[in-house]
Structure 1
Amino acid sequence: MLAPILLAQAVRVRRATPRLPGATGPVSGLVRGEGGPLRLAVLGESTVDGVGAATHAEALTGQLADALARGGRAVAWQAVGRTGANARVAREDLLPLLEPADLVVIALGVNDTIELHSATRYRRDLLDLMVSLRRRAGHVPVVLAGVPPMGRFPALPRPLRDVLGARSGALDAAAARLGSLPGVVHVQMPAAMLDPATFAEDRFHPGPEGYRRWAEQLADVSRRLLSDTIQPENR
């Protein structure tokens, strides 16, 4: 019964939402610090493409690199993102661009939600991505960022917001099951993190402050993962 309403709302949102470009500037860089740099690669959709920020320094990857470098170690970062990418596209088109890394962060799920993919398909596509990643990069630690709770996206009217919010939650729950894989940590994004004031002009993507909050959360988990997986090997 809701289908005609949801379709009409989706069309209106698509027409009314500003189309923001991805971040400008280099897609790789170095945050200076002590010792050999930690090689960070971030793989994913428009948030990794930096939509909502002027440069990658203000977007997710650059801010995550900055947060990780506060421990004193240099961080060499690479952003491998594409606006509109889903998990399958990330494996087929983006993974081949990945350079050697000591830590990989994967940020996906919004496009799989919008495309109404099932939780089963999303988990399968993510698993295929993980397997291909390990074949390419070895047993690299992976932080799997949670699917953003789309029920908090200001650009979405109700009931479309509620429907996509429920589906994004289902996809995130499916992704969380992959956190049981060795060297993989799933990080759920709390709904409270999505303050409307932190969104970009389109009210759909994070702005620099939204990216900063997200990067801080991912950095905390990344430090613990690296401590558990890398340091013991060096003892």
Structure 2
Amino acid sequence: MTTPEADGPQPPVPYGTPDAPRIAVRGEAHLEVDPEIARLGITVTARGRDRRSALDDLTRRNTATLDLVKSYGDAVERLETGAFSITPELTRHGRGERIRTYHGAVRITAELTDFTALGELTTRLADLDLTQVDGPWWALRPDSPAHRDARAQAVREAVQRAREYAEALGTTLAALVELADIGAENPMAHPPAAGRMRSAAYSMAAETETAAPLDLEPERQHVYAAVNARFTMHPPRL
């Protein structure tokens, strides 16, 4: 009894053949570059004996904060309001509870690209009453050229590594079989976690004199890329 032959093309052998040996390599790139943006988290608070007075005070402080940030013009690339709240504070009164005061808060995010203005703006914001500033958080844009450069460097390293393996066997590469991002073949794989950005909190302050601008040094950003690559090579003479 003979086994019938398949009519369609046969799937490729995963690990190559003696006539077309395969090389599987990994290429990686680690770049250290200057940040492109800095984010500030701003929390404006207010309180009053009744809801309306707390809301009026919060509106006034919020407007003053937004006007201050907008005064820096093109140095501010993005300005967003993230959350708003008015919360009553309860206190015991006899056998029951009553509202003692109201607390209001508005959370704002400012994104700057001009780091020369960052220190001055941070100081002026922290100098406002009932205002907290968090940050800066340094980052790259999602479409930063640094990401493309890292991917290209990872590919070049994979090709170079494969060539070195082939040369060690006294042969050369024949063709590229596959190129994949790390994690593309295994959805459960995750890239290394990025380093945490430094942050600092500046609580509200009320000084008679304007504080000197903070000297903020941008934190270098680490960009990582990795690829898996498979090549065929000409049969070596062993």
User: Same fold, TM exceeding 0.5?
Assistant: no
Q: Comparing both chains, which one has the higher relative contact order based on Cα–Cα distances under 8 Å and sequence gaps of 6 or more? A: 2
Task: Flag the structure with higher helix content.
Answer: 1
Under TM normalisation by the shorter chain, which class is it?
under 0.3
Q: Which structure carries more strand by proportion?
A: 2
> Normalising to structure 1: TM-score of the pair?
0.24
Query: Structure 2 length as normaliser, TM-score?
Result: 0.24
Question: Larger radius of gyration, structure 1 or 2?
Answer: 2
